[in-house]
């Protein structure tokens, strides 16, 4: 059985400042776990999130849905300086593609 908390987006990285690995969960940005190994950091943050979700359930609070389970339209607005807009428009015209295609390709890198 897969728990809802198993579907969340977890990340582990080394912190020079803390001299330990830090486990994070994107859906719960206020939570973290420090550990001596990346495996322990992942296990720790998953446990913290599981307990947090249980507590939120008990208090009838709204629980964030996993990022992977959310629907995305594929559209969002990005504001850029006019010089960047001009540069991208020129690049798109010279490449014979739309501005959208150029921006999408650059964002994908």
For the chain, give the secondary structure using H, E and C.
CCCHHHHCCEEEEEECCCCEEEEEECCCCCCEEEECCHHHHHHHHHHHHHHHHHHHHHCCCCCCCCHHHCCCCCCCCCCCCHHHHHHHHHHHHHHCCCHHHHHHHHHHC
Q: Do 53 and 16 belong to one domain?
A: yes
CA distance 18 to 22: 9
Q: Which residue has the tokens 């969340």?
A: 8
Q: Do 11 and 64 belong to one domain?
A: yes
Q: What is the pLDDT of residues 27-71, one digit of tens each?
A: 999 999 999 999 999 999 999 999 999 999 999 999 999 999 999
Q: Do 40 and 61 belong to one domain?
A: yes
CA distance 32 to 25: 7
Domain that holds residue 56: 4-68
Q: Do 42 and 82 belong to one domain?
A: no
What pLDDT is stored for residue 3 in this prediction?
81
Q: Do 17 and 45 belong to one domain?
A: yes
pLDDT at 109 over 90: no
What pLDDT is stored for residue 29 in this prediction?
96
Mean pLDDT (the chain, rounded): 95
């Amino acid at each position: 059985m897969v728990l809802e908390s198993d579907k969340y987006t977890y990340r582990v990285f080394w912190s020079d400042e803390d001299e330990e690995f830090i486990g994070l969960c994107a859906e719960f940005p206020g939570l973290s776990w420090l550990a001596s190994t990346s495996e322990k950091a992942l296990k720790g943050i998953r446990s913290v999130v599981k307990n947090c979700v249980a507590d939120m359930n008990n208090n009838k609070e709204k629980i964030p849905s996993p990022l992977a389970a959310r629907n995305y339209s594929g559209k969002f607005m990005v504001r850029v300086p006019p010089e960047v807009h001009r540069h991208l428009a020129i690049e798109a015209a010279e490449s014979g593609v739309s501005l959208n295609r150029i921006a999408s390709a650059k964002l994908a890198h």
